[in-house]
């Protein structure tokens, strides 16, 4: 099974593609799509859509996982995150890819065994599960890989 995880955002949109290789998980590709803060929003969203679409066409994942929208303390950041999430969901629909949505607590629980885990614990477990010591530089990328791991675990 091949799973794509997405951590949507307009400044940076994290992505990670993992597959099941026997009993272990293997990272195929991961990174972040970065957009220029001075660019028009529609251009930023187009870049996210186009990049995700290319990844989907290249890898043809069985399922894409995306975090459920969480407003938290700052509702103003939820609007651009929701817009990025929308273009990612559109790319999945256009490519006929199943979508699984998980809450942050569900993702943390799946990756670390504790739904209240902090970023450091999640990053440690991602590196351990995927054998990626020192290769994940950005939170967005780590979050996308965590989503992919959680969805893969739920589907196994």
Catalytically active residues are 7, 67, 140
Q: Distance (Å, rounded) from C-alpha 71 to C-alpha 87?
A: 18
Determine how many CB atoms are found less than 10 A away from the CB of residue 145. 30
Helices (runs of H) and strands (runs of E) counted in the chain: 5, 5
The CA-atom distances, in angstroms, between 3 and each of 40, 65, 115, 121, 134 are 31, 7, 21, 22, 22
CB 30, CB 5: distance < 8 Å: no
Q: Distance (Å, rounded) from C-alpha 11 to C-alpha 43?
A: 12
End-to-end CA distance of the chain: 9
CB 6, CB 88: distance < 8 Å: yes
């Amino acid at each position: 099974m091949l799973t794509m995880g997405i951590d949507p955002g307009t400044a940076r949109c994290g992505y990670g593609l993992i597959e099941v290789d026997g009993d272990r998980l293997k990272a195929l590709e991961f990174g972040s799509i970065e957009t220029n803060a001075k660019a028009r929003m529609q251009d930023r969203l187009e870049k996210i859509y186009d990049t995700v679409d290319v990844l989907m066409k290249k890898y043809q994942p069985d399922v894409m996982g995306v975090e459920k929208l969480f407003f938290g303390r700052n509702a103003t950041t939820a609007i651009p995150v929701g817009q990025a999430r929308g273009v990612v969901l559109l790319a999945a629909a256009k490519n006929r890819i199943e979508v699984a949505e998980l809450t942050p607590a569900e993702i943390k629980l799946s990756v670390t065994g504790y739904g209240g885990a902090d970023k450091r614990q999640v990053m440690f477990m991602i590196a351990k599960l995927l054998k990626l010591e020192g290769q994940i530089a950005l939170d967005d990328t780590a979050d996308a890989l965590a989503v992919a791991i959680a969805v893969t675990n739920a589907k196994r």
